[in-house]
Chain A
């Protein structure tokens, strides 16, 4: 089975609210990657985190890698309708994508 678990599976928010998805691994990860898949589209690479405790920002998106390198989070500030889609994390080499968190934003 998959080695990285993502929660929640689904999230509905009102436009302007914040959103967070979490990725947890049973083993230490060398790195973690995040992807976004728009409805009907394909996953697109967003970012990679490598260092323990690393934090990276892309506009309204904040990505964190846990100190133990077993968990990660993606936080979106003030969601917009353009944020709709499924967000995946990938950690284990050559295999492990989380199940994804599907975000729906009500305008």
Chain B
């Protein structure tokens, strides 16, 4: 799974600050996704992208912004971090419909 990399692995930030989580994949997969994982909520989709310059909202998009200017990168920005955004964030990619997701190792974000 070395082909999808998330950074940083851990991040502590203050309420109100902007923070960007990075995701990079080396396979040229069309689809990329951002999920957050919280106890009791499983994996909830924040945003996804079907191709460069095409993004769409998922289940919980409020407070987040994404961009995808290049196929391999899909950064997630928290415009003004809140404590409720403390979570583990996973980036994932897949080559297309009907194929399995490959997940990154995750970013554990704490907002204080």
Residues of A at the B interface (CB closer than 8 Å) are 1-2, 6, 30-31, 33, 35, 41-45, 48, 50, 88, 90, 93-95, 97-100
Q: Is the CB of B31 within 8 A of A94?
A: yes
User: Which residues 12-62 of B sit at the A interface, judged by CB distance below 8 A?
Assistant: 31, 33, 35, 40-45, 48, 50, 58-59
What is the total number of residues of chain B having a CB less than 8 Å from a CB of chain A? 26
Q: Is the CB of A1 within 8 A of B42?
A: no
Of the candidates B42, B98, B104, the one whose C-beta lies within 8 Å of that of A48 is: B98
Q: Is the CB of B41 within 8 A of A99?
A: yes
Q: Is the CB of A100 within 8 A of B100?
A: no
> What are 28 A-B pairs with beta-carbon distances under 8 A?
A1-B59, A2-B42, A2-B44, A6-B42, A33-B101, A35-B100, A41-B105, A42-B90, A42-B103, A42-B104, A42-B106, A43-B43, A43-B90, A43-B92, A43-B101, A43-B103, A44-B103, A45-B100, A45-B102, A48-B98, A48-B99, A48-B100, A50-B98, A88-B43, A94-B45, A97-B42, A97-B45, A100-B43
How distant is B76 from chain A, measured CB to nearest CB, in Å? 16
- State the CA gap A95–B57 with chains docked (Å): 10
Give the tally of cross-chain contacts (CB within 8 A).
Answer: 56
Question: Which one of B43, B44, B92 has the greatest number of beta carbons of chain A within 10 Å?
Answer: B43
Q: Is the CB of A94 within 8 A of B42?
A: no
- State the CA gap A45–B100 with chains docked (Å): 6
How distant is B107 from chain A, measured CB to nearest CB, in Å? 11
